[in-house]
Amino acid sequence: MQLLAPEKTKPTTDSSKPEISGLKLSKTQVQQKLLIATNNAGKIREYLELLPGIPFALTTPRSENLEGEVDETGATFAENALLKALYFSSVSGLLTLADDSGLEVDALDGRPGIYSARYGGPNLGDEDRVDLLLSEMREVPWEQRTGRFHCVIAIAGPTGDQETIEESCEGYITYEARGPNGFGYDPIFYSLELGKTFAEVESSLKHKLSHRGKAARRATERLFAINRASETP
């Protein structure tokens, strides 16, 4: 699946909007594009792998020449995912999928949580955030190093209709970064099922168990259902 080349997009004026589970989308929007509301290279790469065969052409804010960032002022993953989905759907006129995800560590009272992507401040990179988290857990024994990745996918139409999908996966936080794959906190998230960190396995294995993989499979079902509804006379 390929991303579309940059182009200007105008909101649709089609008033015929089939409805499915509260989500109303125009036939034109459903048949053309699905905007993935992120410019995060790691997320884009994963969604290209996680949404195979969907009846949409994937595009991104950068591909659509959309500028600006959404202030993630929500108190939960779901609130932040909806903020992003609704904003980008509104400015693009496109069916939009956004996610908000992060790592919740029990020994840190759930941190970094919704602040995972900006933990420690905006000037830190992925490796810096991993190092910061490991330093905070230096004295925590293995049996107490439990945590989970959490993901909420929000799907929104340009009329403001919306729905969310929520998934998580459990694991442990390692004592050091392990593995060259993935992104974010993958090198320190150990899966008991895999016997490795998410960064030590191929993406296809990770997706079978990951928070985003689970949520994307459910989102795929919804996207096919939305498309079928758009084709109903």
Q: What are phi and psi of 198, to 5 degrees?
A: -60, -30
Tokens representing residue 168 in the block: 């998580």
CA distance 80 to 216: 17
Q: What are phi and psi of 159, to 5 degrees?
A: -85, -5
* pLDDT of 167 higher than 90: yes
Residue 216, pLDDT score: 97
What digits encode the pLDDT tens for the residues 19-51? 333 444 444 443 479 999 998 888 999 999 999
* pLDDT of 126 higher than 50: yes
Closest CA to 188 of 171, 204, 176: 176
Tokens representing residue 8 in the block: 């200007």
Cβ 51 vs Cβ 218: under 8 Å: no
* pLDDT of 73 higher than 70: yes
CA distance 212 to 217: 9
* pLDDT of 160 higher than 70: yes
* pLDDT of 196 higher than 90: yes
Residue 161: pLDDT band (50, 70, 90) is confident
| Residue 40 burial (CB count, 10 A) | 15
Residues noted as catalytic: 100
CA distance 30 to 95: 7
Domains for the chain: give ranges and CATH numbers.
19-230 (3.90.950.10)
- Report the half-sphere exposure of 228 (CA within 13 A, side-chain side): 8
CA distance 213 to 169: 10
Tokens representing residue 183 in the block: 């992104």
* pLDDT of 120 higher than 60: yes
What digits encode the pLDDT tens for the residues 108-119? 999 999 999 999
